[in-house]
Amino acid sequence: MTILIKNGTVISATGADPADVLIDGETIVAVLQPGSELAASAEAGAARVIDAAGLYVIPGGIDGHTHMELPFGGTVASDDFESGTRAAAWGGTTTIIDFAVQPAGESVRECLDLWMGKAEGNCAIDYGMHQIIGGVDDQSLKDMDALVDEGITSFKLFMAYPGVFLSDDGQILRAMQQAAGNGALIMMHAENGLAIDVLAEQAVERGETAPINHGLVRRAEFESEATHRAIQLAKVGAAPLYIVHLSASEALEQVAMARNNGANVFAETCPQYLYFNVEDHLGKPDFEGAAYVCSTPLRTKHEHHQEDLWKGLRTNDLSLVATDHCPFCMKDQKELGRDDFRAIPNGIGGVEHRMDMIYQGVTTGEISLPRWVELCSTTPARMFGLYPQKGTIQPGSDADIVLYDPKREWTISVDNHHMNIDMSAYEGIDVTGHVHSVMSRGRMIIENDAYHGSPGDGKYLRRGLSQYLI
């Protein structure tokens, strides 16, 4: 059965043009000139015609960094693959890439199977996996090669969380050498975890236990030092490097310098770093700041981190925006750290809000309309080996299409979000622009302000190698 989307403006990474989009089954089959003979005959033969007048027609969002059901600090992220992917769909995201987790000493293969089991049959939208390597050793290095062949082509390492996930520099170098051999992308949580733990312990000894201290001890210097170190190790290991959740200007400078020198170094930032800060958010009284505890942390507003991050998004020193969606409820979860910020589970839920929050950058003139699509869909597809199946509206691509209403005004609240969290870090933010409807592989799953999909609609995506690597 064919569907024609007509009268809309198709936004791609390179432009915005009136065009009609013809879909057959799960696939886009043509992008047609409005009013042309081909468009007229497509309309005559279509089983359904959708009028997108006044709407943007964009490739579905791709969120390359989520953590459904992630165990963290004695609790588990509150969205499972079912609720989290449904919320993603509500927000115009039609693909997520989550992280399978291998703690040190455990088998990569068994951990991956566990994560695939959590996702399988539950997702509302298509999904891929990255693999976290918490224990770099001979076996896990070998496993990396096997996983690449199975479509898991990116591996996250940690320079933070000593005793949990931290890899030392030797382990990092070995993993990078392995990636240089198999073509995988090394994703790095770049913060000096050992140094952070010293400051954190000293803060608690002084009685400074409130959430704001999470941001104060995880200093920007520790992020930029680790980013610098990761870049140097990647140079020696001859591997491409992707810095996750970059929040500090100083770390961005390191990435920009490496890129100017021609290195295969990339970075993402997340909406929370573009909108929230230490003073107004992490510093909220009465433990409310706990909602904003994440790592890397929010940065201070009196510096110029947010301005620099938006600039990085314009200049491409920041390649894309992901959410690092890792939601915890206030009750029984964030509350675990009421007396000691170190026990607050790290993470913010935002998978539903990324497309809207980055679109606000279009309304304020920070980025162009095509750049919005590039940052949220096209580049993630290329970066993580999904292009052109995903991330673009062109013949042959999956019909993952969002109709976006650029005029609708609304206010984000826990009362209208669909994530499984008992509060919203984004509470009260006024937004211009809203998802109108969402198609996942040719099926309308969000339409008329209702969800029409089911768990299990989403399929696992075997990814190719990153298309940015030379």
Are 211 and 289 in contact by the 8 Å Cβ rule? The answer is: yes
The residue with its CB nearest to ligand URP is 346
Residue keyed to tokens 């279509």: 46
Is 347 an interacting residue with respect to ligand URP (CB under 6 A)? yes
247, 295, 333, 379: which one contacts ligand URP (CB under 6 A)? Answer: 295
The residue with its CB nearest to Zn ion is 189
Query: Applying CB under 6 A, what is the total number of residues that bind ligand URP?
Result: 9
Buried b (16+ CB within 10 A) or exposed e, 301-321: eeeebbebbbbbbeeebbbbb
Q: Is the peptide bond before 388 cis (omega within 30 degrees of 0)?
A: yes
Structural tokens at position 28: 């886009």
Choice between 96 and 294, CB closer to ligand URP: 294
Nearest alpha-carbon partner for 147 in 176, 113, 123: 113
Angle CA 413–402–70, to nearest 5 = 55
What does the per-residue mask of binding to Zn ion show for 137-176, with x meaning CB under 5 A? Answer: ----------------------------------------
Is 166 an interacting residue with respect to ligand URP (CB under 6 A)? no
Which option in Zn ion, ligand URP, none does residue 294 bind, with CB closer than 5 to 8 A by kind? ligand URP
Report the distance separating Cα 11 and Cα 30, nearest Å. 15
Report the distance separating Cα 323 and Cα 347, nearest Å. 10
69, 268, 317, 324: which one contacts ligand URP (CB under 6 A)? Answer: 324
Report the distance separating Cα 215 and Cα 128, nearest Å. 31
Dihedral (C-alpha) 86, 90, 96, 102: value to the nearest 10 degrees? -50
Is 371 an interacting residue with respect to Zn ion (CB under 5 A)? no
6, 86, 174, 189: which one contacts Zn ion (CB under 5 A)? Answer: 189
Bridge partners for 405 per DSSP? 434
Which option in ligand URP, Zn ion, none does residue 346 bind, with CB closer than 5 to 8 A by kind? ligand URP
- Minimum distance, C-beta of residue 348 to ligand URP, in the bound complex (Å): 7
What does the per-residue mask of binding to ligand URP show for 41-80, with x meaning CB under 6 A? Answer: --------------------------x-------------
What does the per-residue mask of binding to ligand URP show for 221-260, with x meaning CB under 6 A? Answer: ------------------------x---------------
Report the distance separating Cα 38 and Cα 285, nearest Å. 61
Is 325 an interacting residue with respect to ligand URP (CB under 6 A)? no
Choice between 346 and 360, CB closer to ligand URP: 346
Is 154 an interacting residue with respect to ligand URP (CB under 6 A)? no
Choice between 72 and 372, CB closer to ligand URP: 72
Using CB under 6 A as the binding rule, the residues of this chain from 376 to 415 that contact ligand URP are none
Structural tokens at position 310: 């938006």
Bridge partners for 31 per DSSP? 21
Straight-line distance from the first to the last Cα atom of the chain, in angstroms, rounded to the nearest whole number: 40
- Exposed (0-12), middle (13-18) or buried (19+): which is 45, by Cβ within 10 Å? exposed
Positions in the binding site for ligand URP (CB under 6 A): 67, 189, 245, 294-295, 324, 326, 346-347
Positions in the binding site for Zn ion (CB under 5 A): 189, 324
